[in-house]
Structures are given as C-alpha cells and as structure tokens.
Amino acid sequence: MKTIAAQPFDFSFDPARTALIVIDMQRDFIEPGGFGAALGNDVTLLKKIVPTVGRLIGAFRRAGLPVIHTRECHKPDLSDLPRAKHARGKPSLRIGDAGPMGRILIAGEPGADIVPELAAAAGEVVIDKPGKGAFHATPLADILAAKKITHLVFAGVTTEVCVQTTMREANDRGFDCLLAEDATESYFPEFKKATIDMIRAQGAIVGWTATVDQISSAIISP
C-alpha cells in the first residue's frame, strides 16, 4: 500500500488496484462554440486546467496505471437522450443541433471528442456516456471489475456535475475515491469549492481530495 497526503486525512491505496478516470475533457465543454459556451459559460475557466490534467495523466502513464476517459455524448438518432434533458435550460444550441464543431454532444462529431492535448493513448479505455454519471448505461463497472480496481482517482469537468455524480456512483459501489483538486474545474468557481467541501466532509463521506503534485509523487515513487 502507498499513501497520498490528502484531505481530510491521508489516502491509502494499492497501485495495482488504482485507476485514473478523466471526466469529459471534451471540445464541446472546453472550446468556444461548444455546448458549454451555448449555455452562456466562460469556457476559459475549464481550458486552464488542461495542462494540469495532462500532468496527472502523464504520471499515471509513467507508473503503468490505467487511465480511463469519458465523453458525455449521444447517439446520432438521439434515442438515448431523455426528453427532459433535451429540453433543460435555454441554450443557444441544444444537444443534437448543428454547431461550429458539428452536432452538439453527438458521438463521432468533432465537438464531442476529447481535446487534442489530452487524447487517449493506444490501449486506454474511452467510455461514451449518455448521462452525468459514468456508470449509468455504460460498461464502466464491468471494466473496473475485470481490472480488479478498488481505488479511483478523478479529474475532469465539471466538478459539481459529471465529476461529483460519478464519484458518488463509485462511492455507492464501494470504491475509495480521490479527487485531484487542481485537475477539475467548474464554470462557477463557488460550485467547485462547495463540491470539494461536500466530498471530503464528515470524514471523507464521498472521498478524498489532493493536488496533482501530491498524487503524482505518490504513484511514481518506488
């Protein structure tokens, strides 16, 4: 077992049973012209963490540990898009509409892909998910079981929506979960802070948090 200096207390983990999950670092959320911008958000807030997420991914790759990427997107015929989700809010472009990077949040379209700087390496798992959480209607649980994973490190966007939802799903399934504080972001900084506080409240009720440097030094050390 190894230990990461985390909050609210040290996070102990077995590297052989640990994986990184990078949530939804997609062009539609991070680049101008995508769904995030269509909702009226400042996408530069998310763009700024790309190098930090890249450092974390690099550390896991150097350590030979699994990296799993997720993308929130839907089938071209929208058969996996609930009416309530499609109707939510008042974006200038809705899911499935044609945008500057192709149809918004549709699998196979340029905007739904991961930003080039964080593209999956050969052999890394990429999961397309129709919901906020990465376990819903995906093979993620089976993939983790096959790899005998018990501990998960999380990065990605947005902190309070898809990242937190997936962490809570994982927590309910018995995984020990750690969030990389500086490798996650929200369009609303106050939401990120509140989510981090909620995650590690009451003795890590959902999970732990630590910085990329703390995580990287622990997984790379002999």
Active-site residue set: 24, 129, 162
| Amino acid residing at 112 | A
Count Cβ atoms within 10 A of the Cβ of residue 162 and give its class: 0-12 exposed, 13-18 middle, 19 or more buried: buried
Distance separating alpha carbons of residues 7 and 44, to the nearest angstrom: 27
CB 15 within 8 A of CB 148: no
Q: Which of 122, 142, 6, 132 is nearest to 67 (CA)?
A: 122
CA angle at 42 for the pair 7 and 119, rounded to the nearest 5°: 70
Distance separating alpha carbons of residues 190 and 113, to the nearest angstrom: 27
Distance separating alpha carbons of residues 191 and 211, to the nearest angstrom: 18
